[in-house]
Amino acid sequence: MAKALLIVESPAKARTIGKYLGPGIEVKASVGHIRDLPVNRLGVDLENQFEPEYITIAGKQKIIADLKKAAKDKDVVYLAPDPDREGEAIAWHIAEALQAKDRLFLRVLFHELTPKAIRQAIEHPEEISVNRFESQQARRILDRLVGYQLSPLLWDKVKRGLSAGRVQSVALRIIVERERQIFAFAPVEYWSLTARLSAEGQEFDARLFKKDGRKIELANEEQTQGVIRDLDGQPFVVGPVAKKERKRHPLPPFTTSQLQQAAFSRLRFPAAHTMRLAQQLYEGVELGSEGSVGLITYMRTDSVRVAADALTEAREVIQKRFGPNLLPAQPQTYQNKKGVQDAHEAIRPSSSGRAPEDVKRFLSPELYNLYELIWRRFVASQMKPAIIDQTTADIDAGRYQFRATGSVIRFKGFLSVYDLGEKEDKEVLPPLEEGRPAERLGLTPKQHFTQPPPRFTEATLVKELEENGIGRPSTYATIISTLRDKAYVESNRGQLRPTELGFIVNDLLVANFPQVMDVEFTAGMETHLDEIEEGRIPWREVLGQFNAPFENDLAKARLAMTSLKREGLPTDVPCDRCGANMTMKYGRNGPFLSCSKYPECKNAADFKRDENGRLVPVRLDAEATGESCPQCGLPMARKKGKYGEFLACTGYPDCKTTRPLGLPNGSSDNGLPTMDAGPCPQCGSPLAVKRSRQGSLFIACTNYPKCKHTQPFPTGVACPRENCDGQLTERSSSRGVFWGCSNYPKCRFTLKHRPIPKACPDCQSPYLLEAPAQDGSGPTLLKCPNKACGYETPA
Give the model's confidence band at 667: pLDDT under 50 very low, under 70 low, under 90 confident, else very high.
very low
- Helices 473-485, 256-267: axis angle to 10 degrees equals 50
3-state secondary structure of 69: helix
**pLDDT value, residue 230:** 96
Mean pLDDT along residues 199-214: 95
**pLDDT value, residue 755:** 92
Closest C-alpha to 413, from 332, 348, 296: 332
**pLDDT value, residue 777:** 37
Does pLDDT of 669 surpass 70?
A: no
Mean pLDDT along residues 340-369: 90
pLDDT, one tens digit per residue, over 106-132 is 999 998 888 888 999 999 999 999 999
Judged by average pLDDT, the poorest of 268-277, 483-492, 609-618, 775-784 is: 775-784
Mean pLDDT along residues 39-65: 94
Closest C-alpha to 250, from 351, 183, 328, 361: 328
Q: Dihedral (C-alpha) 6, 11, 13, 17: value to the nearest 10 degrees? A: 50
3-state secondary structure of 556: helix
Does pLDDT of 782 surpass 90?
A: no
- Do residues 374 and 347 make contact, with C-beta atoms less than 8 angstroms apart? yes
**pLDDT value, residue 25:** 92
Q: Which residues form the catalytic set?
A: 298
Does pLDDT of 766 surpass 60?
A: yes
pLDDT, one tens digit per residue, over 79-95 is 999 888 999 999 999 99
Distances (CA, A) of 40 to 36, 57, 482, 483: 12, 12, 19, 22
- Helices 519-533, 130-157: axis angle to 10 degrees equals 150
End-to-end CA distance of the chain: give it in Å, rounded.
63
d(CA 174, CA 312): 43
Helix (H) or strand (E) holding 550: helix 539-560
**pLDDT value, residue 775:** 39
Does pLDDT of 642 surpass 70?
A: no
3-state secondary structure of 755: strand
Give phi and psi for 14, each to the nearest 5.
Answer: -65, -40
Residue 462 CB contacts under 8 Å (≥ 6 apart), including other chains: 257, 260, 261, 264, 271, 473, 476, 480
Calculate what percentage of the chain has a pLDDT beyond 70. Answer: 92
Q: What is the pTM of this model?
A: 0.78
**pLDDT value, residue 622:** 43
Strand partners, 245: 389
Does pLDDT of 773 surpass 50?
A: no
**Average pLDDT for the chain:** 88
Q: Exposed (0-12), middle (13-18) or buried (19+): which is 379, by Cβ within 10 Å?
A: buried
Residue 381 CB contacts under 8 Å (≥ 6 apart), including other chains: 250, 251, 252, 253, 306, 332, 334, 414
d(CA 428, CA 391): 8
3-state secondary structure of 624: strand
Residue 17 CB contacts under 8 Å (≥ 6 apart), including other chains: 6, 8, 27, 80, 110, 113, 118
3-state secondary structure of 259: helix
d(CA 317, CA 329): 15
Amino acid at 40: N
**pLDDT value, residue 726:** 92
Give the model's confidence band at 678: pLDDT under 50 very low, under 70 low, under 90 confident, else very high.
low
Calculate what percentage of the chain has a pLDDT beyond 90. Answer: 64
DSSP 663: -
pLDDT, one tens digit per residue, over 579-597 is 999 999 998 888 999 999 9
d(CA 530, CA 526): 6
Helix (H) or strand (E) holding 788: none
Q: Which residue has the higher pLDDT, 443 or 703?
A: 443
CB pairs under 8 A, 24+ apart, for 119-125? 119/20, 121/80, 122/6, 122/21, 122/25, 122/78, 125/78
Does pLDDT of 221 surpass 50?
A: yes
Does pLDDT of 644 surpass 90?
A: no
Residue 308 CB contacts under 8 Å (≥ 6 apart), including other chains: none
- Other beta carbons less than 10 A from residue 185's beta carbon: 14
Beta-strand pair 710-718/697-701:
antiparallel
d(CA 297, CA 299): 6
Q: What is the CA angle 116-353-27, rounded to 5?
A: 30
**Dihedral (CA of 433, 435, 439, 443) sign:** positive
d(CA 389, CA 429): 11
Closest C-alpha to 445, from 203, 197, 227, 187: 227
Does pLDDT of 673 surpass 80?
A: no
- Other beta carbons less than 10 A from residue 330's beta carbon: 8
3-state secondary structure of 470: coil
Distances (CA, A) of 386 to 103, 252, 325, 329, 389: 57, 15, 12, 15, 10
**pLDDT value, residue 194:** 97
Judged by average pLDDT, the poorest of 12-26, 249-263, 629-643, 660-674 is: 660-674
b/e per residue 729-762 (b: at least 16 CB within 10 A): bbbbeeeebbbbbbeeeebeeebebbbbbbebee
Q: What is the CA angle 37-41-46, rounded to 5?
A: 80
Mean pLDDT along residues 206-231: 96
One DSSP character per residue, 147-170 reads HHHHHHHHHHHT-TT----TTHHH
Mean pLDDT along residues 501-510: 96
Mean pLDDT along residues 716-733: 89
Judged by average pLDDT, the poorest of 259-263, 375-379, 458-462, 751-755 is: 751-755
3-state secondary structure of 132: helix
Give phi and psi for 238, each to the nearest 5.
Answer: -70, 125
**pLDDT value, residue 668:** 35
Does pLDDT of 424 surpass 80?
A: no
Distances (CA, A) of 753 to 728, 767, 771, 780: 11, 12, 6, 12
Does pLDDT of 362 surpass 70?
A: yes
Does pLDDT of 762 surpass 90?
A: no
**pLDDT value, residue 635:** 83
Strand partners, 604: 594
pLDDT, one tens digit per residue, over 126-174 is 999 999 999 999 999 999 999 999 999 999 999 999 999 999 999 999 9
Alpha helices (H) along 237-295: 256-267, 271-283
Range with top average pLDDT, 1-15, 521-535, 611-625: 521-535
**pLDDT value, residue 178:** 96
Give the model's confidence band at 341: pLDDT under 50 very low, under 70 low, under 90 confident, else very high.
low
Give the model's confidence band at 253: pLDDT under 50 very low, under 70 low, under 90 confident, else very high.
very high
Query: Do you know the residue count of the chain?
Result: 795
Does pLDDT of 619 surpass 70?
A: no
Amino acid at 282: Y
